Amino acid sequence: MSEPRRYVSPDGRLAGGAAAELPVASDELLAGYRAVRRARHFDERAVTLQRQGRLGVYAPFRGQEAAQVGTALALRSGDWLVPSYRETAAALTHGLPLATAILYWRAHPAGWEYPADLRLLPFYVPIASQLTHAVGLAHASTLTGDGAVTMVYVGDGGSSEGDFHEALNMAAVYRAPVVFVVQNNGWAISVPTARQMGNTRIADRAAGYGIPGTAVDGNDLLAVTLAAREAVDLARDGGGPTLIEAVTYRIAPHTTSDDPKRYRDEAVTAEREAEEPLVRLDALLVERGLWGDGEEGALRAALEREFASALAAADERPLPAPEAIVEHVFESLSAEQRWAWEALR
């Protein structure tokens, strides 16, 4: 089993020591750090809002910010990002407005009002079913020559689904410009990876499909960023798909409805908090002299301001009318929806 690639240790030390050169430009590191902080801020506020009854059931991603932000930042405008329900951080990083994200988690129809030029698919709920869509999007890029790359997310549990196999195989056959990102967070609700699969290094399965596979420390923003860039570049240059396994840990419950105490020792979870991405990023930035009280104060204020403004915008949206239930089933109302539409008015 290959060891996941890592640049920054959990205590924030760069491989090679304090004298080692950063593998990315410092402004790129800072941009990634700010995006991770923005995602963390959203996640913490979302959990609070859910507890207050101001959000529906929510799937937190605490601890998985580096895996999501690092991969999403490797994309450019015009690339497709295909998230599952736990990838709010990736979606926000790719351009989903905060207010729209809040409205989605309220099941408000306006949660679908994506900016017209944003190539982001909606959050997927049926596990792994998004993977073949991503292959179709990617192959469409091959056919139309639009130069786009598609990045799609799935978890360790999703790697057990038949669609995982079908998608990787199809992508390999068509050499589709798609990057598969598996966030191996150790848990599929209550089932640990050891009871999910016989070979717990998911990236190794890539060889079986004849495509490149790489495992990275998913809590190391630099490792994720570099692996994602390589995969995106390969796809864009006609080299076909890559399977990236970002090894991370689901610190939070599966959703706000879940009770992890029923199936795991939360003392172990607390220990894993020490390995989450921000602990090491904070340490690295301070060590490198890239972050101080001034930057910290400004960032906190900006994040609070941005979220408050988005929440206010979301709160302003009136509840949908009942007849919205049968709108958009087809382009125009058929007799069946017309009948229901009249009944609901």
Partner 1 sequence: MSGPGLGQRAASAVSDERESPSQRPAEVSSLNMVQAINQALDQALAGDDRVVLFGQDVGRLGGVFRASDSLQQKHGERRVFDAPLAESGIVGFGVGLALAGLRPVAEIQFAGFLYPALDQVMSHVGRYRHRTRGRYTVPLVVRAPYGGGVHTPEQHADSPEALLTHTPGIKVVVPSSPERAKGLLLAAIDDPDPVFYLEAIKLYRAVREEVPAAPYRHELGRARVVRPGDALTLVSYGGMIEVCLAAAAVAAREGVELEVVDLETLVPFDEATVFESVGRTGRAVVVHEAARTGGFGAEIAARIAERMFYDLQAPVGRVAGWDAPYPPFTSLEHHYRPDAARVLAAVRDALLA
Catalytic residue among 62, 119, 205, 250: 250
Phi, psi at 174, each rounded to 5°? -90, 0
Answer whether 119's CB lies under 8 Å from 190's CB.
Answer: no
E strands, the chain, are: 80-82, 150-155, 178-184, 187-188, 191-192, 213-217, 242-247
Answer whether 169's CB lies under 8 Å from 209's CB.
Answer: yes
Helix (H) or strand (E) holding 73: none
Reduced to 3 states (helix: H, G, I; strand: E, B; else coil), residue 76 is: coil
Active site residue 153: no
Considering beta carbons, is residue 70 or 157 the nearer one to partner 1?
Answer: 157
CB of 78 to partner 1, least distance (A): 12
Considering beta carbons, is residue 70 or 111 the nearer one to partner 1?
Answer: 111
Catalytic residue among 263, 300, 328, 338: 263
Sheet of 213-217, strands arranged across: 80-82, 150-155, 178-184, 242-247, 213-217
Considering beta carbons, is residue 125 or 286 the nearer one to partner 1?
Answer: 125
Phi, psi at 127, each rounded to 5°? -60, 130
Q: Which residues bind partner 1 (CB under 8 A)?
A: 80, 109, 112-114, 121-122, 125-126, 129, 131-146, 162-163, 166-167, 169-170, 173, 238, 327-331, 334-336
Q: Which residue has the tokens 């902080």?
A: 37
Considering beta carbons, is residue 9 or 169 the nearer one to partner 1?
Answer: 169
CB of 126 to partner 1, least distance (A): 4
Active site residue 119: no
CB of 134 to partner 1, least distance (A): 6
Catalytic residue among 37, 108, 254, 280: 254
For the packed helices 65-72 and 26-51, what is the interaxial angle rounded to 10 degrees? 130
- Alpha carbon distances (Å) from 73 to 140, 159, 227: 22, 23, 12
CB of 340 to partner 1, least distance (A): 10
Active site residue 254: yes
CB of 53 to partner 1, least distance (A): 23
Considering beta carbons, is residue 40 or 139 the nearer one to partner 1?
Answer: 139
**Catalytically active residues, by annotation:** 250, 254, 263
